Amino acid sequence: MPLIPYDPFRLIKQDGSRFPRIFDSDWFETHFSGMARVPVDVHETQTEVVVTAEIPGLEKREDVNITVHDGHLHLNGKIERTSEQKDENMHRTERYYGQFSRTIPLPTEVSETGAKASYKSGILEIRLPKSQAQIGRQIDVDFH
């Protein structure tokens, strides 16, 4: 019988599917932050990085703050409750109201100048042009 050194995390290492990924920032943020989870999609084209975020309930541009710093996109803001419900018997409340925050690492270097954001039907779309160093320059070949 082989000797196996004591490893208290052996079960987690063998079958990580049984245990939540507590060191994964998304898992921690979802379960313990107390803030709304803002789902995002990030993709890039030849010239820009496009981030779409699902944030229903924004009413005006002051409700959301978008900044780009050090290779990350920072979203934060506040979703206001549209009506006060004092005398009603509330049976279920699943929609989120209050502060939200999300930091998204960007896949490449972007230029803050020329960035555009639009909001429609609960979806915030942010278009960030890539920095010129990341786009590169096409070199044409002269055939003789």
| 108 lies in some domain | yes
| 29 lies in some domain | no
Label residue 44 exposed, middle or buried (CB < 10 Å: 0-12, 13-18, 19+).
middle
DSSP reduced 3-state for 9 = coil
The structural domain count of the chain equals 1
DSSP reduced 3-state for 13 = helix
Which range marks the domain in which residue 49 is found? Answer: 35-82+96-134
pLDDT at 12: 63
pLDDT at 120: 93
**Which residues, 6+ apart, have CB-to-CB distance to 116 below 8 Å?**
126, 127
List the chain residues with pLDDT less than 70: 1, 4, 9-36, 82-87, 134-139, 144
Q: What is the CATH number of the domain that holds 113?
A: 2.60.40.790
